[in-house]
Structure formats: structure tokens, C-alpha cells
Amino acid sequence: MKGKLTITRSFYFDAAHSLPFHDGKCKRQHGHTYRLDVTVSSFVGSEEDVDSQLLQDGPESGMIVDFTALKQVVESWIVSRFDHGNLNNYFSSPTCEVIIIMIAERLVEPLKEKRVILEKLDLWETIAPHENKCTLTLFPPS
């Protein structure tokens, strides 16, 4: 059996921003509770060995990556930088689309070091009842 395994972990951070080029109320500084869903993948299995890409040794045996290792990468590269900060310090116009692209650019390499592929990001701007979501699906590396 061959296949692709994906795992997803959610992260939360609170941040302020304004959209200086926006015509509406978002031009003024305001804040959101963001939810970032990070999905990573790895191909598993071969004709001979179904476990070929699962980690084989130690406490991560049977996993593509430990959720704790994924958490350490995302929190150190993204959450610790943005949580309770002003996103305008990083972007001239911090739209959900601009933010998610930068997050992907920052996470690809550190996740490769963990032997997983960044598959998809979902960035939720504000949690219920008014949820807005931006999704970035990455193309497989060539």
C-alpha cells in the first residue's frame, strides 16, 4: 500500500492590525484572535514496506512527525513573533492573504528539516461568530 499521510495542528494568537488602503472600518486599528491550522504530510509505504516513511526509532516511532515537534517549529517561527503584537510592524498591509504567504515562506524549510512537507495552511481571522478564513494549499515540490 502506498499513500500520503497528513496531520494538522491548530495554533492561536492575538494580534492587532490596520489595513491602511482599505475603504472601510478595517482602516482603523483593531484586533483579532487568529487560528492557524498547519497541515503537513509525508508519503508512506512502498510495494515492499508499508512503514517506509514512518519514523522508526525512539519516542516518535510510528509517526511522520511528533505533534510536539510541529508545535515547537510553528510557535518559534510564527506564534511567538505575532502573539499580542501589531502586524503592521511586519507588513505594510497585513491582509489575511499577505500574512498566510509569509507564514508559508517561514515554515517550509524548518518543516523539511523535520522530514515533512508543508501541505496546507488555514488562517482564521477572528473566531466565531464572524469567521473569516484564508487557505493556502502548497503545490508539491518538483
Question: pLDDT (tens digit, 9 = 90+) per residue, 6-20?
Answer: 999 999 999 999 999
> Is the pLDDT assigned to residue 140 strictly greater than 90?
no
What would the grid cell of residue 102 be?
509569509
Cα torsion 17, 22, 26, 27 to 10°: value is 70
Supply the pTM of this predicted model: 0.88
Domains of the chain: residue spans and CATH: 3-137 (3.30.479.10)
Helix (H, G, I), strand (E, B) or coil at 11: strand
> Is the pLDDT assigned to residue 47 strictly greater than 60?
no
Task: Say which residue, 93 or 60, is predicted with more confidence.
Answer: 93
Question: In this predicted structure, what is the pLDDT of residue 127?
Answer: 77
| Whole-number CA gyration radius for the chain | 17
Q: What confidence tens digit (pLDDT) does each residue in 91-134 have? A: 999 999 999 999 999 999 999 999 899 999 999 998 777 789 99
Q: What is the average per-residue pLDDT within 66-83? A: 96
- What is the Cα–Cα distance from 43 to 97, expressed in whole angstroms? 28
> Is the pLDDT assigned to residue 26 strictly greater than 50?
yes
Q: What is the average per-residue pLDDT within 32-56? A: 76
